[in-house]
Structure 1
Amino acid sequence: MTVEPVVAPTSIRRWPRFTAYGLAGLALLVPTSTASAGWYFANQVLDARPREYPLEVRGFDGELVTLNRTEDTLCDVPYALLWPTGHARLGSVVRADRTGVVRRVEEITRGTLQAGARAALSSAVFDGDPLTSRGLNFDEVTVPGELGPLPAWLVPGTSSAWVIAVHGRGGSRAEALRALPTLAELGLPTLVITYRNDEGAPSSADRRYHLGATEWRDVAAAVSYARSQGASDVILFGWSMGGAATMMTLRQAPEAAFVRAVVLDCPALDWSATLRLNGRRRNLPAPLTWAALRLVEQRIGTTLTDLNQVRHVGSLRVPTLVFLDQDDVLVDPAPTRLFARLRPDLVRLVETAGGGHTRSWNVDPARYEAELASFLRAVAPG
């Protein structure tokens, strides 16, 4: 399998601002709604914004909740259900019809769930902090970042190697709560970080995500913090865009010298392939998708080619465990498979099916935790 080729040059110098904007002017030739979708698409990729609640709670009887029918609500894996004032853990799908899906509610951990609420699903099943959600003692610490103080959780351990957990785009530290018990059982101190534009962390000047192109500096700051607190070296653990930031840290940061191993979960290794995938799912004409990608490059100040980690897989020097769900429709799985195939000496790929983006744990927690523990025992000091 090969990565879908780039459909147009990605050099910012070769395609100046007026060209990208001018091509987007093809909107004159297509329906207004389609053109607007192209601009909306580019903004959605980069803008750091509050959580949206696209679902409607159509009913709740104390045990079962009815949600509108979507690909996600039909996906029969554990989820968190979030609404503006609350959180619940969802279990299995009970039934579905043409418009709605009924799911079991395992626990309401915060707030009151009632019909009419706007809600969202999250693969980060657990709510709260390591103690309240997983029974793990931790400290609230602050990592000195390039833009200012970055709040973090530190779960203590006995190993000299620390894990640094890096959540995905628009996510939060809660993403790591699924893996923390496994890490704690192995005695690995774990620093669960925030980075620029997170809630409670400093904002970048443009208040935009840079797809790992600048976020890696906050990961590097976390490595420096861990070293200052006695870590001999670190294991980087990145979900989605956190995986992109992790790989950029390996490529760009002097602190990469202290990285012992890497764990990636549905990592965004090739943004061009991923954004084209999302463009197709939104039925954007190829020229408008191309223009949106050029606009993304202008806004983040680098090319998507430079953020293509598959192109740099030859420089990988540390053991790497990669989780991938083959039904991921948000981050293109093909580049990750190619990444693993090109470096079988260092990369172990673990695939699941039927979950979607960053849901390999949700599909099979026992397998995920066993694979993670086996890998970490092999690479971390006792």
Structure 2
Amino acid sequence: MIRRLIVGTGAAVAAAGALHLALGGYVARRLIAPRAAKPFVPLIVDGDTVDVPATDESRQPGTYGVWLDDGTHLTVGEILRTSGDRVVRSLVAKPAGLPDGTVRGAWTSQNIAAPEAVGPTQHVAVPLRRGGSADAWVIGDPDATRWAIHVHGLRSSRSGALRSAPAAVDAGWTSLVVSYAGDDEAAPADTLPSSLGTREWRDVDDAITYAVEQGAREIVLVAWSMGATIAMLALEQSRHREAITGLVLVAPALDWGRIVARAVKGVHLPSSVGATSLRVLRSRWGARALGLIEAVDARALNWVDGARRAPDLPTLIVHSLRDPVVPVTGSLAFAARHPGARLVAFDATGHCNEANQDPKRFHAAIGDFLRELRRPV
């Protein structure tokens, strides 16, 4: 009887352990997996309004966008009214010739249709050390010596990072808005799981090289969410570290352990599942199972309270106190640890929606920082 009890208990423990490992693997896969294509759903355009399905995203205040299935972009303004499962919002920008009626579109936080809406634009290809090139936009004077390189976050594209370009261009900095390995612009065959910046930083370093070769002498990295991880890794290893004179970090991912813990807590799983997911990511067998080229030690990607320290550079952090994805506690602790960092706190809902919900303050914060920035003599 005792033997049966021990065997039964052992089986139960093994089953619980297997379930725990499976949950950790699931969290790890969700963390790094390429974003599934957003479904295009029926919308109704009526004059200067658009009727969209009511979701957590479409109910938020501010200015957003809709991508139609033919590639057309609509800039969507504030909520006018709600009715059941539909929301009617104003249209800030409606393409000429778009008729009223039902269309199919996907909601997005990308509220700038194209780089040409920001300023004179060149479409360029950045040569990559891994072979091939990455598409990028140069906005502003291509002969200027002060460049801002805008780096988007996880499961996003250059269009998302466009939101910081107007402030940089208005402050007199040429903007280079870049793409990198595995982002939403990659062809389906090239869409790999994210390495949380540990491989992607090389493409951004190649963009830094491109800017230097074009005549840039002062470079600011403007990094969104996971783009901050990429920026920090690039700064640690870049061939042109001396050219980087400042950082602008928007809702920055500076401590992945903290981010995973928030995600696990948000779906009411034990904190130990988050720790398991990090172990899966940094193991060779886990990397193979997840389709990663190499294991990722996410816990080591910590500039908040870990062994890594950020470079001694003027740094602006823009972050909402209510960010549900990247805890603002990380930014607060980072600013306390690094005297050269200044945090401008917002009250926006959602992740990386500061520019959507308080655009004037967002624009002013970045613009003022860049105008005041001067290379040390």
Query: Normalising by structure 1, what TM-score?
Result: 0.81
Change (3 A) 1:64 1:149: same
The residue type equivalent to 1:151 in the other structure is D
Q: Name the residue aligned to 2:126.
A: 143
Is residue 334 of structure 2 the alignment partner of residue 339 of structure 1? yes
What is the percentage of aligned positions where both structures have the same residue? 28
Alpha carbons 2:149, 2:219 under 8 Å: kept: yes
1 CA distance for matches of 2:301 and 2:112?
Answer: 31
Match of residue 85 from structure 2: 99
How far did residue 167 of structure 1 move?
Answer: 1.0
Alpha-carbon RMSD = 2.9
Is 1:233–1:259's contact at 8 Å kept on the other side of the alignment? Answer: yes
Which region of structure 1 is more displaced relative to structure 2, 252-261 or 289-298? 289-298
1:76 — aligned with what? 61
Q: Supply the distance in 2 between the matched residues of 1:287 and 1:208 (Cα, whole angstroms).
A: 23
CA contact 2:219–2:246 (8 Å) conserved in 1: yes
Shift of 1:38: 5.8
Within 1, Cα distance between the matches of 2:235 and 2:368? 23
Matched ranges for 1:184-223 at <5 A: 184-198=169-183, 207-223=192-208
Report matched runs for 1:243-258 at 5 Å. 243-258=228-243
Whether 1:317 aligns to 2:312 is yes
Distance of 1:218 and 1:347 partners within structure 2: 25
Deviation digits for residues 150-206 of structure 1, max 9, x if unmatched? 111112436422111111112111123223233223321221111112355589988
Name the aligned partner's letter for residue 66 of structure 2: L
Deviation at 1:60, TM superposition (A): 4.3
In the alignment, what sits opposite 2:346? 352
Hey, what does 1:26 align to over in structure 2? 19
**Looking at CA atoms only, which structure, 1 or 2, has the larger radius of gyration?**
2
CA 1:315–1:354 in 2, change beyond 3 Å: closer, same or farther? closer
Note if contact 2:162-2:177 (Cα within 8 Å) is conserved in structure 1. Answer: no
Match of 1:173? 158
Cα deviations by residue, 1:215-251 (Å, 9 ceiling, x for unpaired): 1111111111111121113111111111110111122
- Cα distance in structure 2, aligned partners of 1:207 and 1:116: 31
Structure-2 residue corresponding to 1:362: 356
TM-aligned CA distance change 1:126 to 1:116, over 3 Å: closer
Equivalence for 2:299: 305
- Secondary structure, aligned partner of 2:242: helix
What's 1:31 paired with?
Answer: none
CA distance in structure 2 between the partners assigned to 1:113 and 1:334 by the alignment: 45
Shift of 1:23: 7.2
The AA in structure 2 aligned to 1:87 is H
Q: What is the correspondence of 1:2-151 to structure 2 with a 5 Å cutoff?
A: 25-26=18-19, 39-53=25-39, 56-57=41-42, 59-85=44-70, 86-97=72-83, 99-109=85-95, 115=102, 117=104, 119-128=105-114, 130-131=115-116, 133-134=117-118, 136-147=119-130, 148-151=132-135
* Residue of structure 2 equivalent to 1:16: none
Matched residue type, 2:108: S
Native 8 Å contact 2:24 2:280 kept in 1: no
> Residue 309 of structure 1 aligns to a residue in which SS?
coil
The number of aligned residues is 348
| Alignment partners' CA distance in 2, 1:317 and 1:371 | 20
Measure, in 1, the Cα distance between the counterparts of 2:269 and 2:95.
Answer: 39
Contact 1:151 1:201 in 2 (8 A): no
Higher relative contact order (CA 8 A, sep 6+): 1
Gaps in structure 2 of 5+ consecutive residues? 1-13, 288-293
Given residue 341 of structure 1, which amino acid in structure 2 is its aligned partner? A
Partner of 1:153: 137
> Would the alpha carbon gap of residues 26 and 44 (structure 1) be closer, same or farther in structure 2, given more than 3 Å must change?
closer
1:116 and 1:258, CA in 2 relative to 1: closer, same or farther beyond 3 A? closer
Provide Cα deviations, 1:8-63, integer angstroms capped at 9, x if missing partner: xxxxxxxxxxxxx99762269xxxxxx6x76554323212245323x844654344
Deviations 1:98-146 (A, max 9, x none): 53333222233497785583x4332221122x22x23x11212221113
Number of the residue aligned with 2:213: 228
Distance 2:363 2:186 in 1: 30
1:375 counterpart SS class: helix
Asked if the contact 1:143–1:150 (Cα under 8 Å) also holds between the matched residues in 2, the reply is yes
SS in structure 2 at match of 1:209: coil
SS in structure 1 of the partner of residue 300 of structure 2: coil
Structure 1 residue runs of 5 or longer lacking an equivalent are 1-20, 29-34
Change (3 A) 1:185 1:215: same
d(CA) in 2 for partners of 1:71, 1:24: 35
